[in-house]
Amino acid sequence: MSAFSLPRHVAIIMDGNGRWAKNRFMPRAEGHRQGVLALNRVVEHAAEVGIERLTVFAFSSENWRRPGAEVKMLMELFAQSLSRWVKPLNEAGVRLRVIGDLTAFSDKLREAIEFCEKETSHGTRMELNIAANYGGQWDICQAAQKAQVAGETVTPETMKKYLTTADVDLLIRTGGECRISNFLLWQSAYAEIYFDSALWPDYSAKELDAALSWYETRERRFGRTSEQLTSKAS
């Protein structure tokens, strides 16, 4: 893989945990637990290949609509995972951040988030953003509100300062659905979008490499013509 065409920011909609479990006559919770293991594999590989920033969708602002028991299970799994991640993330040089509206979370979960963010804050190899209670529309609104409070005119440039994360180069969705589900709406304006039928618990380095190879074949024109890009390169 040439460093030249490696995406700097990869975002992943980790979908398909429930179906993975259902296919095995297991409870959905098992799919989510296996999903965490898939995330661990992908984080390790992304850091190894040199991705600078990885943002993963863990819980959307719409996921509160799920049955109470599933929401509770997901919150517990999140808190437990945060404490387990500190050591391996530090070893891999990965800095963790949680993006989303954290006001909805329990004090205990917010403390676990703060602890993990602080403990991994010196990682310089890769930034891992976990999107939790995240919605792209919320992100845009909170950024516009912050710009307004700071007395700044809302422009694309000022918005960049206040959005939770930077522009995405490669957006991957697993689980076969072809929608964005209110993920990084602003930041995906020019993302290459890759839909993978693999269910998230089955995802590993091999699937990520396939997405990265596909990305390498894309011509990112940003409104220009192909000829303009070719003449610029030569």
Q: Binding pattern to Mg ion, positions 43-62, x when CB under 5 A?
A: --------------------
Catalytic option among 15, 139, 169, 196: 15
| Binding of residue 192 to Mg ion (CB under 5 A) | no
The residues, any chain, with a CB within 8 Å of residue 177's CB and separated by 6 or more, are 15, 195
Q: Are 159 and 127 in contact (CB under 8 A)?
A: no
Binding-site size, Mg ion (CB under 5 A): 1
Our CB check for ligand IPE shows the closer of 61 and 120 to be 61
Instruction: Please tell me which residue in 17, 40, 63, 209 is annotated as part of the active site.
Output: 63
- Is 15 catalytic? The answer is yes
Tell which one of 8, 179, 220, 224 touches ligand IPE (CB under 6 A): 179
For position 108 contacting ligand IPE by CB under 6 A, the verdict is: no
Q: Which is nearer to Mg ion, 15 or 207 (CB)?
A: 15
Which residue type is seen at 59? F
Q: Which stretch binds ligand IPE (CB under 6 A): 1-9, 16-24, 139-147, 163-171?
A: 16-24
Residue of 34, 55, 60, 188 interacting with ligand IPE (CB under 6 A): 60
Residue 167 falls in the annotated catalytic set: no
Interface positions, 9-28, toward Mg ion (CB under 5 A): 15
Identity of the residue, 19 or 41, whose beta carbon is nearer to ligand IPE in the bound complex: 19
What residues act catalytically?
15, 63
